[in-house]
Amino acid sequence: MITIENLSKRYGDNTVVDDVSMQIEKNSITVIVGTSGSGKSTLLRMINRLVEPSAGRVLLEGRDTRSEPAHLLRRRIGYAIQGHGLFPHRTVAENIATVPRLLGWAPERVKARVEELLHVFQLDPAKYSAAFPHELSGGQQQRVGVARALAAEPQVLLMDEPFGALDPIIRAKAQEDLLDIQRRFGTTVVLVTHDMDEAFHLGDRVAVMSGGRLLQYDEPAQLLTHPADPFVSRMTGLGDRALRLLSLTSAAAVALPGAAPGPKLQASASLREALSEMLWSGSQSCEVIGIEGGAPAHLTVDAILEHARPG
């Protein structure tokens, strides 16, 4: 758990982060979202002390982060950034091994961990261990960047616009990978982005920042149904908020028992996708497949619309 208490950062008269307090739950993905200059990156960088706070403090598992030297703290926290920041003069394996080596792991342990991570990130060790970053595609470079951040098995992973430089298709894949990885390792992820769609898709909780202040820190649905500030509504978008709300609930969560005519839909799909599918096929219902237990299930347009408004 990460506890942020009254954290501020000032450069002269300019307050970049203004008295932010929040609790980040263990094993969750928290997304900090805001426009550029909102202070979101600075807030993230104060967690691993790349930026030292002007006031306030950060507790990691109840311990003040200032109780140990900054470089030792950072070795316990994963860090991945936009444009991956891979070391161009080091191979993929050497890049991933950076923090384990700084921590003085035995060479066999380092090697085993590197191979494990390459497998997890769908990179064949035989082919990619000895490759240099410039020989990889953009998506592969990004995956190596995240693998490197996770190399020393950190409890916490900080990500600063990690998918910002990727094209939409690779970005979607990278987001799915991150969700998988988070489930697999149970890492606590704090991710900064300016992309509301990304925030809604990835975040268990989303923090909206503007002008250095934390406007609202809540579950995505709450941001839509109970915005704490007009700026939050503007960020989430008024025009398609009903559809955004639908995108937060899975078909499995609200499926009705029994079979029904209409297109087939995976249980993991969102209500938004279900509605789209029904509109497209002109059907009033659809069949939900892949429910746990294998029982027949369905959704109707009316049932979906129930979930498209607040309350």
Partner 1 sequence: MTSGAINPPAERAWPRLDRLGTLLVAAGAAALAGLPFVVVKANRLVPGEPRALTEVLPPTGSAACLAPLVVLSLVALFVARPRLRLAAALAALVGLSVTLALAADALTPPHNRVVRIAAGGGFWVVLVCLGLLATDAITRLRPGPGRRVLFLAGALTFVVAALASGFFDHLSVMREYQVNAERFGRELRQHVLLALGSLLAAVVAGAPLGVLCHRIPRIREGILGTLNVIQTVPAIALFGILMAPLGALAAAWPLLERIGVRGIGAAPAAVALFLYSLLPIVANTVLGLKRVSRAAVEAARGMGMMPRQVLWRIELPLALPVILTGIRVVLVQNIGMVTVAALIGGGGLGTFVFQGIGQTAIDLVLLGAIPIVVLAFCAAVLLDALVEVMDRVKQ
Binding site for partner 1 (CB under 8 A): 48, 50, 71-76, 79, 81-89, 98-99, 102, 132, 134, 145, 148-149, 158
d(Cα 221, Cα 214) in Å, to the nearest integer? 17
The distance of closest approach from Cβ of residue 48 to partner 1 in the complex, given in angstroms and rounded to an integer, is 6
Instruction: Specify the DSSP element, H or E, that contains 276.
Output: helix 271-281
* C-beta of residue 127 within 8 angstroms of C-beta of residue 100: no
The distance of closest approach from Cβ of residue 90 to partner 1 in the complex, given in angstroms and rounded to an integer, is 9
SS3 260: coil
Q: Which amino acid is at 303?
A: A
Q: Which residues contact 27 (CB under 8 A, 6 or more apart)?
A: 182, 186, 187, 188
The distance of closest approach from Cβ of residue 162 to partner 1 in the complex, given in angstroms and rounded to an integer, is 11
**Token duo for residue 70:** 């900054």
The distance of closest approach from Cβ of residue 132 to partner 1 in the complex, given in angstroms and rounded to an integer, is 6
If the CB atoms of residues 102 and 252 are measured against partner 1, the closer one turns out to be 102
Q: Which amino acid is at 245?
A: L
If the CB atoms of residues 135 and 180 are measured against partner 1, the closer one turns out to be 135
In 3D space, the residue among 175, 179, 180, 148 whose CA is nearest the CA of residue 162 turns out to be 175
Alpha helices by DSSP H, listed for 151-240, are: 168-185, 196-202, 220-225, 230-236
If the CB atoms of residues 165 and 301 are measured against partner 1, the closer one turns out to be 165
If the CB atoms of residues 91 and 266 are measured against partner 1, the closer one turns out to be 91
If the CB atoms of residues 146 and 304 are measured against partner 1, the closer one turns out to be 146
The distance of closest approach from Cβ of residue 198 to partner 1 in the complex, given in angstroms and rounded to an integer, is 20
Q: What is the number of H-type helices and E-type strands within the chain? A: 15, 14
